[in-house]
Amino acid sequence: MFARLAFLATLAATPALGQEVNIYSYRQPELLKPLTDAFTEETGISVNVAYLEKGMVERLKAEGKRSPADLAFTVDISRLAAIVEAGLTQPVTSETLSANVPAAFHDPDGHWWGLTTRARVIYASRDRVAEGEITTYEDLADPKWKGRICTRSGTHAYNVALVAAYLHHHGEAATKTWLEGVKANLARKPQGNDRAQVKAIWAGECDISIGNTYYMGAMLKDDEQKEWAEAVWLAFPTFENGGAHVNISGVAMTAAAPNRDNALKMIEFLTSPTAQKIYAEANYEYPIAPGAEPDALVASWGSFTPDDVNLMDLAALRPAALKLIEQVDFDG
């Protein structure tokens, strides 16, 4: 009934009879296992995880009120917003959640709650870019970077979110001009993923790239990619009138949620300092709960002040951001 692609049941040694919570997850079950194990150990509630790489919204729609899923785990505000906008979630609030999750990182109506953040930063060549040479997202359009920037597709969700943030801060005309400037500075046609851009810097094809912070940790743990990572340093740019652009991993309670009370307990657990530490260390991301510290490796990359715009406001700007990206033919 609850099988799809991959299915993982994490059980306590003697869980309470009938006590369970069911998760549909965009993230692979092995990434969640340390969290689900800790939750089960603490509460006696067993956790079932179905990995859905694609089609989460469509599946929840098809299942309707019969859905066995209590929680939906995903990454990127666009995916969280899509689930909410489809009417597939229900609002949840509690004093614990309000204390653990800053306002910018949860839906104002409680339909989703952030769990970790990742910053969209600059990967810069250690040999060809001096520290302090790039400090803002606006700098990416400076002609001094002509022929020196690599990036993945402008229409990828991560870049659309960044453009939406630029649009929030500067408006439509300035954002279009900025996109044209960044495009003029590209060393090659947008291609590949964030790691591929770092490889291109290592290979001398470009000097800076745009990428999420956690890829640095992933590359340093990979025998082949470690050399790429060691060829770059991370710059944490900000908007001229704001902070660093961040995106999130998050969780939403489904509208059907057959185990609502258990699901709420799990969301509260996931936002606790204990769980935040586990999750952030497993994925090289930044914890959200006040007082929770990032992994030592992540902390070594430097600190930053996140932009304080609520991510649902950015989600609302994504269609306009995508339209501008297409207007300037960014990937052309």
Q: What is the pLDDT of residues 216-241, one digit of tens each?
A: 999 999 999 999 999 999 999 999 98
Same domain, 137 and 236: yes
Same-domain check for residues 31 and 168: no
Mark whether 60 and 87 lie in a shared domain.
Answer: yes
Contact 175, 183 (CB under 8 A): no
**Over the chain, what is the mean pLDDT?**
92
What are φ and ψ of residue 266, in 5° steps? -70, -40
For residue 32, being part of any structural domain is answered with yes
Number of domains in the chain: 2
Q: Which residues contact 172 (CB under 8 A, 6 or more apart)?
A: 320, 324
d(CA 153, CA 297): 28
Is 196 contained in some domain?
yes
* Stated pTM of the model: 0.86
CATH assignment of the domain containing 239: 3.40.190.10
**Residue 145 DSSP one-character state:** G
Q: What is the pLDDT of residues 127-153, one digit of tens each?
A: 999 999 999 999 999 999 999 999 999
Confidence (pLDDT) at 18: 61
Structure tokens at 76: 């990127």
Residue 297 lies in a domain: no
End-to-end CA distance of the chain: 45
| 112 shares a domain with 31 | yes
Q: How many Cβ atoms sit within 10 Å of the Cβ of residue 172?
A: 13
Domain carrying residue 173: 118-245+306-327
30-35 long-range Cβ contacts below 8 angstroms, 24+ apart: 31/282, 31/283, 32/73, 33/8, 34/278, 34/279, 34/282, 35/270, 35/275, 35/278, 35/279, 35/282
Q: Residue 319: is its pLDDT beyond 80?
A: yes
Indicate if the pLDDT at residue 1 is higher than 60: no
Q: How many whole angstroms separate alpha carbon 321 and alpha carbon 155?
A: 9
* Confidence band, pLDDT 50/70/90 cuts, at residue 10: very low
191 and 319 housed in the same domain: yes
DSSP reduced 3-state for 21:
strand
